[in-house]
Amino acid sequence: MPKSSVSAAYWAGFRHGLPFLLVIIPFGLMFGIAGTEAGFNLAEVLGFSVLVIAGASQFAAVQLMSDNAPVVMVLATSLAVNLRMAMYSASLAPHLGGAPTWQKALAAYFMVDQTYAMAMLEYERHPKQSTAEKIAYYAGVCTPICPQWYFSTLIGATVGQAIPPEFALDFAVPITFLAMLAPMLRTLAHVAAASVSILLALLLAFLPGGVGLLIAAAAAMFTGAQVELWQHRRRL
């Protein structure tokens, strides 16, 4: 495999990952602030971001730990919130399954919503890419995103209290997911699944520990599958 094509794939991923800094940085700052406000020291806050590297479950875990929830509840909630990563892994397997084990391990560690979304869009656009090119693209997307998650967590934990509240850093979460999901809504099944997930997530927001999100995700997958099955039968 020519090195030039692998290098080009890496830098394409790097460029595609750069725009997410606009939301990763404030998201990391928010977690750093939340962690210190919950009473965690600097090492503990950074440990969360380095070892877990999953913003939504980190926020959920910190909130529950602040409320003195049982360890079992903290772990179960974090796993529920991050259950989507299992679905991400399954859809990436056909593309990255042929890579060396150490590369797949790194891909699993650095897999976040942004890297997954950009990788899948790229693989769909260029289905003939080699495994090496796909890994290079994935690594390129990770390069600007993941280090900034660590760094912004550090800044939030150390000087976050000085950030004026009118900066409204909480805009990062919804903007991130809108930017990732909108380009992926290409079929009726995608739109149906997204609509069901949004509706149920709002209706079940009162449920504790991310249970509502888990139910909404399961219902969305079922809806998308049924719509695709219905469309397939119509074409027969």
Question: In the prediction, which pLDDT does 232 show?
Answer: 76
Span 63-74, average pLDDT = 78
Domain ranges of the chain: 3-169, 185-236
Contact assessment for residue 140 and residue 118, using Cβ atoms and an 8 Å cutoff = no
Question: In the prediction, which pLDDT does 2 show?
Answer: 57
Contact assessment for residue 134 and residue 8, using Cβ atoms and an 8 Å cutoff = no
In sequence order, which residues have a C-beta less than 8 Å from that of residue 82 and are 6 or more positions away? 54, 56, 57
Phi-psi region of 39 (alpha: psi -120 to 50; beta: other; left: phi over 0): left
Is the predicted pLDDT of residue 169 greater than 70, yes or no?
no
225 alpha carbon, distance to own chain's centre:
22
Q: Give 180 or 63, the one with higher predicted confidence.
A: 63
The pTM of the full predicted model, rounded to 2 decimals, is 0.72
Which range, 22-26, 115-119, 221-225, has the best average confidence (pLDDT)? 115-119
Is the predicted pLDDT of residue 168 greater than 80, yes or no?
no
